Amino acid sequence: MANPFVHTELQTKDLAKAKDFYSKLFDWKLEDIPVPGSDVGYTMINVGEGTGGGMFANPDPNVPPHWLAYVGVDDIQASTNKARELGATVVQDVMEVDGYGWLSVIIDPTGAVLGMWKPKPM
């Protein structure tokens, strides 16, 4: 399958409450990991089979809690540029996530938000 969804992420105001709720609701296994250079931690979501994800406490008071899906791409810069050329607004240009890969976030021409992800080679 070309360009599958590879990660789903919750940005929330109350991480402890979200972790408690989702781990009980879906029996997800959660693992807190440090984020180098940041005081905002990250919690990985292990769902067993299927697409997992993560969650974190977004410190921006203007961003409401929401889920964001990421699509895997082979060339993050080319995909981000192509999205822009096709009418998307790039709200987070290509950014490296230390040790893991690169991401970008767009708003498509219909107003929907979507992330793109390129993992670092193993």
Q: Give me the pLDDT at residue 37, please.
A: 73
Whether the domain at 1-61 and the domain at 73-122 fall into the same CATH topology: yes
82: left (phi over 0), alpha (psi -120 to 50) or beta: alpha
CA 86 to chain CA centroid, Å, is 22
The CATH topology of domain 73-122 is 2,3-Dihydroxybiphenyl 1,2-Dioxygenase; domain 1 (3.10.180)
Q: Where are the domains of the chain?
A: 1-61, 73-122
Can you give the pTM of this predicted structure?
0.90
pLDDT tens for 50-63 read 899 999 999 899 99
pLDDT tens for 88-112 read 999 999 999 988 999 999 999 999 9
Task: For residue 119, give both structure tokens.
Answer: 């993992």
17 three-state secondary structure: helix
Give the number of residues written for the chain. Answer: 122
The CATH topology of domain 1-61 is 2,3-Dihydroxybiphenyl 1,2-Dioxygenase; domain 1 (3.10.180)
